[in-house]
């Protein structure tokens, strides 16, 4: 992929900021690559891919150069489901090793896209960029005064912009590309996932059970089990991807799922009850998936990719695959809403709270350590008039 992209139109402004650096030979392997956890590898691939695309002249969706608004830039490649086509870490490493990326490059990137992301997101992306420099035994950009000064100035400008205390003209005078619209704070407003409510769960699992979807027996069994378990257990995508068969214990009233809490770095035990409706029941659907996949007495990852030849692979699904499966199933079932990775947690948290009005129960069910659970609960006027919003859980 990267060889084709290298011939793309380069960012002219970027070229003026390049400085000569020693070229580093890249032999196709980063020694510390294998030490990365799967979730970290996925996160680094995402952040580094976006940065590498920018270096090659591509811009993210919604980008606009406010200094030269009439210039059109090629957009970062997206797949059929509107997700970024990621480069591999090896492909990105090749670009870094050619000496095309310097501390000045990183500084210019901050000036160009600094108002496209929140500061917390930029810190994470800078961490990924530093990691790649370090892996290639090159000096990390964040140690350079120019990068430090640029980032410090950006933090101040963002804070003033959110408070409506700085204009676009002042931002451009400071050599930063401002947001496309003069609406202070809106660019940084937290996006909320559309909740995947009980009605959506019923529609999707009903279609996967009785509808003509063409997914095949194995895929439909896996997808039903995964979506139901995600909803009833309020699991994060990374948690679902990390569940192993040998860490599931079936009991009289349901099942216990032992998993590693990737957010809090602790072992956790999540109880999952039988549901009254067999079609929606996560325990029965997990058992059905294990039976269909021939692994009732086996071990390994619970949710795995399935090849075109209908073979179950040994590796685990990635977190982004979990989201794609949910989106695909929802579209097949005719849902009009646009769901994302947090939709099942938001939908289940909403249903549980509207049924119980018990915030502590919602917090415990989702594994939240603070009242952040409130950000996941959504309600409509209809919910308020109904009192509980539902007659009962599944």
Q: How many Å apart are CA 243 and CA 230, to the nearest integer?
A: 11
What is the full DSSP assignment across 252-274? TTEEEEEEEETTTTEEEEEEEEP
- 8 A C-beta contact, residue 228 and residue 281: yes
- 8 A C-beta contact, residue 360 and residue 242: no
First to last CA, the chain: 46
Check residue 295 and give its pLDDT.
Answer: 92
Architecture in CATH for domain 38-174: Orthogonal Bundle (1.10)
Check residue 267 and give its pLDDT.
Answer: 80
Check residue 93 and give its pLDDT.
Answer: 87
Q: How many Å apart are CA 107 and CA 95, to the nearest integer?
A: 17
- The stretches in the chain having pLDDT less than 70 are 1-39, 81, 181-191, 261-265, 379-393
- 8 A C-beta contact, residue 285 and residue 228: yes
User: What are the boundaries of each domain within the chain?
Assistant: 38-174, 198-383
- 8 A C-beta contact, residue 290 and residue 160: no
Q: State the Rg of the chain over Cα.
A: 24
Q: Do domains 38-174 and 198-383 have the same CATH topology?
A: no
What is the full DSSP assignment across 338-383? ---TTHHHHHHHHHHHHHH--HHHHHHHHT-SSGGGGGT----HHH
pLDDT tens by residue, 280-314: 999 999 999 999 999 988 889 999 999 988 899 99
Q: What are phi and psi of 113, to 5 degrees?
A: -110, 10
CATH fold for domain 198-383? hpI Integrase; Chain A (1.10.443)
């Amino acid at each position: 992929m990267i060889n084709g992209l290298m011939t793309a139109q380069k960012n002219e402004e970027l070229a003026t900021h390049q400085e000569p650096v020693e070229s580093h030979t890249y032999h196709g392997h980063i020694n510390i690559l294998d030490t990365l956890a799967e979730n970290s590898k996925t996160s680094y691939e995402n952040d580094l891919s976006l940065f590498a695309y920018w270096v090659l002249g591509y811009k993210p969706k919604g980008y606009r150069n406010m200094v030269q608004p009439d210039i059109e830039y090629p957009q970062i490649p997206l797949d059929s489901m509107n997700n970024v086509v990621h480069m591999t870490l090896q492909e990105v490493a090749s670009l870094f090793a050619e000496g095309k990326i310097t501390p000045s490059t990183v500084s210019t990137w901050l000036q160009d896209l600094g108002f496209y992301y929140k500061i917390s997101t930029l810190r994470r992306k800078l961490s990924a960029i530093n990691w790649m420099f370090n892996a290639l035994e090159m000096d990390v950009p964040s140690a350079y005064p120019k990068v430090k000064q640029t980032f410090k100035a950006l933090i101040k400008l963002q804070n003033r912009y959110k408070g409506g205390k700085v204009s676009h003209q002042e931002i451009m005078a400071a050599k930063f590309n401002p947001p496309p619209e003069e609406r202070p704070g809106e660019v940084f407003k937290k996006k909320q996932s559309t909740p995947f409510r009980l009605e959506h769960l019923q529609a999707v699992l009903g279609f996967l059970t009785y509808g003509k979807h063409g997914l095949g027996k194995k895929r439909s069994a896996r997808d039903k089990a995964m979506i139901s378990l995600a909803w009833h257990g309020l699991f994060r995508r990374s948690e679902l991807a990390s569940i192993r068969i040998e860490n599931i214990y079936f009991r009289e009233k349901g099942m216990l799922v032992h998993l590693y809490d990737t957010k809090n770095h602790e072992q956790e035990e999540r109880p999952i009850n039988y549901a009254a409706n067999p079609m929606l029941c996560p325990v029965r659907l997990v058992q059905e998936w294990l039976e269909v996949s021939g692994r009732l007495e086996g071990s390994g990852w619970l949710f795995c990719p399935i090849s075109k030849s209908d073979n179950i692979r040994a590796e685990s699904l990635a977190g982004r695959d979990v989201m794609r499966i949910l989106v695909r199933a929802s579209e097949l079932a005719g849902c009009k809403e646009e769901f994302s990775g947090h939709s099942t947690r938001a939908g289940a948290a909403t249903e549980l709270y509207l049924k119980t009005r018990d915030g502590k129960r919602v917090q415990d069910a989702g594994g939240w350590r603070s009242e952040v659970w409130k950000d996941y609960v959504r309600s409509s006027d209809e919910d308020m008039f109904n009192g509980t919003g539902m007659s009962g859980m599944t």
